[in-house]
Amino acid sequence: MKKQQKSSENKRRWVVKIGSSLVTNDGQGLNLAAIDHWCADITQLHQQGYEIILVSSGAVAEGMARLQWQERPHALHELQAAAAVGQMGLIQAYEQALQKRDLQSAQILLTHEDLRDRQRYINARSTLQTLLELGVIPVVNENDTVATEEIRFGDNDNLAALVANLIDAEHLVILTDQSGIFDRNPSQFADAQLIRECSAQESRLDAVAGPSHHSLGRGGMMTKVSAARRAERSGTATIITSGRVEGALLAVASGDYEGTLIHPTIEALTARKQWIANQLQAEGSLHLDAGATRVLLSDGASLLAVGITAVDGEFKRGDLVRLIDPTGKEVARGLSNYSSQESTKIAGHSSAEIESLLGYIDEPELIHRDNLALL
């Protein structure tokens, strides 16, 4: 496969995500031999100047194995208990495999709440940057033991993409139990062909990427496509390849691998706009007319009240809101200059009318373009 040109700005920085079925040997406990192979690859890449951040699934699956549970529980408190038990062995396995190769590792546990607050987002970014500068391999996972449903990432594919955004990674490498994305389900069609290269926004990805059929993981190829689209916001390319192949990461580095390369197709967002775009929870929605949608998408303009047709939800000044086009599609997110009550009063009116409608004016724009990110 053709090797993509590397950027000198991000110093060959990779986020490597490893799925549950690989880490836990299909649920039979940690696959220590595989972890050792991946850490051997990481060591060689580190010696070649690569900066690697690991996002590893497997805490819940390893906890299930230790607790001798045969089926993944559905209750959140049971999942959290399994994660608490399994996290101990998971991190120890990576630490031992890296330490024997003279590499230091660090455990980073995140929830979406850690990235929702701008100050905590900056702190997480600074911590990861410092660890990389020190030559440490961060091992990242969702903080399953404390995360509530409202602040969960949902799956580690999207967590890995958010980490790629956080540190402006060159590549997001997703190791899975498949060779990549196929044009048809390879378990059902013998003539299924591997999609070797495509852009993140190609519609065929939606048609061929199905859900996970594995009981241990939370994602499938669809979550990987979603992660690739999220990763492209920082100009990050995504590679999906099999982690069962020995030397898989070295093969990716050489460009000689079997897998799917997903190119970013949109201009990389600034760090602030990445933060806005990557919030998983919004407090409300603003519905746009066709004119406002067109100006927003084509001209990169601020959002004015005159282009609003409806307001949903309860939000305050400074809260994150979704921007919905006339077809019902979310096209952008932004930080509102006005509350939901104020937005309702000024919706459909010109900026010159705001003061007469509210008795005051904070900003002429409902959302300034600097606080708005297109999706």
pLDDT score at 324: 96
DSSP 3-state assignment of 43? helix
Classify strands 13-18 and 171-176 as parallel, antiparallel or unpaired: parallel
Who wins on pLDDT, 57 or 174? 174
Comparing 95-109, 140-154, 314-328, which segment has the lowest mean pLDDT? 140-154
pLDDT score at 217: 45
Who wins on pLDDT, 71 or 323? 323
Who wins on pLDDT, 246 or 28? 246
pLDDT score at 107: 94
- For the cut 60, the answer to whether the pLDDT of residue 216 exceeds it is no
pLDDT in tens, 317-371: 888 999 999 999 999 999 999 999 999 999 999 999 999 999 988 889 999 888 8
Q: Which residue has the tokens 């390893």?
A: 62
- Of 17, 24, 16, give the one whose Cα is nearest residue 216: 24
pLDDT over 90, % of the chain: 51
- For the cut 60, the answer to whether the pLDDT of residue 212 exceeds it is no
- For the cut 90, the answer to whether the pLDDT of residue 307 exceeds it is yes
Q: Which CATH class is domain 13-273?
A: alpha beta
Where are the chain's structural domains? 13-273, 282-374
* CATH topology (fold) of 282-374: 2.30.130
- The DSSP code sequence of 72-138 is ---SHHHHHHHHHHHHHHHHHHHHHHHHTTT--EEEEEE-HHHHHSHHHHHHHHHHHHHHHHTT-EE
pLDDT score at 263: 93
pLDDT score at 349: 95
User: What's the residue count for the chain?
Assistant: 375
- For the cut 80, the answer to whether the pLDDT of residue 27 exceeds it is no
Mean pLDDT, range 205-218, rounded to an integer: 59
Mean pLDDT, range 205-210, rounded to an integer: 75
Mean pLDDT, range 276-285, rounded to an integer: 83
Confidence of residue 3 (pLDDT cuts 50, 70, 90): very low
- For the cut 90, the answer to whether the pLDDT of residue 250 exceeds it is yes
Mean pLDDT, range 236-262, rounded to an integer: 95
In angstroms, what is the C-alpha Rg of the chain? Answer: 22
Helices 156-166/221-231 angle, 10° precision = 10
pLDDT score at 154: 60
Confidence of residue 280 (pLDDT cuts 50, 70, 90): low
189-193 contact pairs (CB < 8 A, 24+): none
pLDDT score at 147: 56
- For the cut 70, the answer to whether the pLDDT of residue 8 exceeds it is no
pLDDT score at 313: 94
DSSP 3-state assignment of 165? helix
Comparing 12-16, 62-66, 138-142, 275-279, which segment has the lowest mean pLDDT? 275-279
- For the cut 50, the answer to whether the pLDDT of residue 290 exceeds it is yes
Confidence of residue 152 (pLDDT cuts 50, 70, 90): low
Q: Is the dihedral of CA 236, 239, 240, 242 positive or negative?
A: negative
pLDDT in tens, 130-147: 999 999 999 998 876 665
